[in-house]
Amino acid sequence: GEDVEQSLFLSVREGDSSVINCTYTDSSSTYLYWYKQEPGAGLQLLTYIFSNMDMKQDQRLTVLLNKKDKHLSLRIADTQTGDSAIYFCAGLDRMEYGNKLVFGAGTILRVKS
């Protein structure tokens, strides 16, 4: 099954770029995801990348996938105070009768003004 690990905490200044890293174990994961959780709220899907891609860009978000090293990163350009949240990396564990998301422990992003 899939196992996902992330760095636990990142602090940046407003306007800087943030890079959140994640490693996964299951090379057969078809999709890899980034979710955002704001305080007291549910999870919001930010972006995802298909395993045959190396990079995906969506406005201020850039996802890089290194399949050889099983490493996924999320870069947030021009980080704003509203980006302060917990960011979860997730891999899709394919099972015989269904698929399940396996989440990393989450990275707390703190943006200082």
Stretches 14-22, 30-38, 58-66, 70-78: which one binds other proteins (CB under 8 A)? 30-38
User: Two tokens at 16?
Assistant: 């800087």
Q: Amino acid identity of 82?
A: G
Among 28, 30, 57, 66, binds other proteins (CB under 8 A): 30
> Residue 13 contacts by C-beta under 8 Å, 6 or more apart in sequence?
79, 111, 112, 113
Binding mask 38-57 for other proteins (x = CB under 8 A): --xxxxxx--x-x-------
* Cα 67 to Cα 107: distance, rounded to the nearest angstrom: 21
Residue 113 binds other proteins, judged by CB under 8 A = no
Q: Count other C-beta atoms under 10 Å from residue 39's C-beta.
A: 7
Residue 95 binds other proteins, judged by CB under 8 A = yes
Binding mask 56-85 for other proteins (x = CB under 8 A): ------------------------------
User: Two tokens at 41?
Assistant: 């709220």
